[in-house]
């Protein structure tokens, strides 16, 4: 199972980014979180068998026009992560 932390930069806050990511997650075998960061970026933590496909779907979605940069890093598996949550 793959676990990834993705950071998105651009006009990614105040445009429904987190809600769209959560909606997109429903089509994939992934669990994770999405949250706004104080510096204006959005962080997505995703893990599961379809993590790569899920991240590709974010890139192809209506969010693509808001993303100026995506930074990915593989992270250790997050224990107890179930579903996909918007974190305040």
Closest to 85 in 3D by CA, of 25, 42, 27, 28: 25
41 an active-site residue? no
Catalytic residue selected from 5, 11, 36, 41:
36
Spatial contact of 59 and 18, defined as CB atoms under 8 Å apart: no
**36 has catalytic annotation:** yes
Catalytic residues: 18, 36
């Amino acid at each position: 199972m793959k676990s990834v932390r993705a950071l998105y930069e651009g006009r990614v806050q105040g445009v429904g980014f987190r809600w769209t990511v959560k909606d997109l997650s429903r089509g994939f075998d992934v669990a994770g979180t999405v949250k706004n960061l104080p510096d204006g970026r959005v962080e997505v933590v995703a893990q599961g068998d379809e993590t790569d496909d899920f991240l590709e779907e974010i890139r192809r979605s209506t969010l693509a026009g808001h993303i100026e940069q995506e930074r990915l890093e593989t992270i250790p598996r997050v224990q107890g992560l179930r579903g996909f949550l918007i974190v305040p």
